[in-house]
Amino acid sequence: MEYQAIAKQKLPKMAYDYYASGAEDEWTLKENREAFSRILFRPRILIDVSKIDMTTSVLGFKISMPIMVAPTAFQKMAHPDGEYATARAASAAGTIMTLSSWATSSVEEVASTGPGIRFFQLYVYKDRKVVEQLVRRAERAGFKAIALTVDTPRLGRREADIKNRFVLPPFLTLKNFEGLDLGKMDQANDSGLASYVAGQIDRTLSWKDVKWLQSITSMPILVKGVVTAEDARLAVHSGAAGIIVSNHGARQLDYVPATISALEEVVKAAQGRIPVYLDGGVRRGTDVFKALALGAAGIFACGVRAGGGGREAGVRNVLRMLRDEFELTMALSGCTTLADINRSHVLTEGDRLRPAPRL
């Protein structure tokens, strides 16, 4: 939260508002945080916690902790190093970075920063040849999975961006689309990004397109933007490799539940057939523990980029803080491995409304 305050001081208003704002009344934006604060711990005591193992594997890739970096667009608005800094910091932390389709550095440029496990977040454009080309480029550049964003047939009403007439600064482009005449965003009467999405993003996207995507790549596909049991079951049926419970950082449809509130419903519907990850609202290591206790296999932290002040050292520090806090939460809850974390370690609002079990 302190990093967010620093970012507000340092970044131009248009850039900060883009990163920090939500849709319409921003009820879901507040709720993404507040819902975590209503979940309490039930710590277990007198357990040897002298050794704590936070390692896990995601789609078969071993990582140092269940904390990964969520995709954030336009990172060079925060700092000239942009996505390079995030890629290097995630790699140094031994975790996964997800690169946005709308990055200000290309898949090839990010790959050139050195080794690391990287996923690619994909928006599906009306021109499917553009999508095919982009997916193949990501695969060639060594990216390991696709996070398919499914909650953005149109852009949510982000009123801060409308008031600011948001547009990408003239010295930046959407690097992945630069050679296709799709890299520039025109000035508009409201949000330049909303106009760009209206012109380029495919509103016909449906479950059959998950199959289409599987036909053009061997990379596993995570469906990002699921918040209901019904869609969780359809994601399993579609052959998705995993689900990311996400409300797009509260930037799409306002008054959807916080992701931590939707998590358990989605986990139950997936029935252990595919892993479920959480994205949104995480600001503390305690939040990570709560997500895992409610069935998440890991979390994607949003805002690591802008929160870290844009510099690699800042991003590294945000990841280290989350890691250290999570490790401490595990120790104080009596858990030495991720497998030890279970539903009995937390008390949700729903639990408090139900009568206590007779012991």
Tell which residue, 121, 64, 57, 60, has the closest CA to residue 91. 64
121 marked among binding-site residues: yes
251 marked among binding-site residues: yes
Residue 99: helix, strand or coil by DSSP? Answer: strand
Tell me whether strands 40-41 and 346-347 are parallel, antiparallel or unpaired: antiparallel
Residues noted as catalytic: 248
71 marked among binding-site residues: yes
133 marked among binding-site residues: no
CB 115 within 8 A of CB 183: no
CB atoms within 10 A of CB 112: 12
58 marked among binding-site residues: no
Give the whole-angstrom CA distance, residue 267 versus residue 273. Answer: 10
283 marked among binding-site residues: yes
282 marked among binding-site residues: yes
254 marked among binding-site residues: no
285 marked among binding-site residues: no
Cα separations in angstroms, 116 against 4, 42, 151: 26, 36, 28
Tell which residue, 18, 348, 324, has the closest CA to residue 166. 18
Which of the 8 DSSP states describes residue 105?
Answer: S
Place of tokens 């946005």: 100
Q: What would the two tokens of residue 104 be?
A: 């200000």
Q: What would the two tokens of residue 216 be?
A: 């053009």
18 marked among binding-site residues: yes
Strand partners, 243: 223, 276
CB 341 within 8 A of CB 42: no
279 marked among binding-site residues: yes
181 marked among binding-site residues: no
246 marked among binding-site residues: yes
Write out the binding residues. Answer: 18, 71-73, 100, 121, 123, 149, 158, 224, 246, 248, 251, 279-283
Write out the binding residues for glyoxylate. Answer: 18, 123, 248, 251
Write out the binding residues for FMN. Answer: 71-73, 100, 121, 149, 158, 224, 246, 279-283
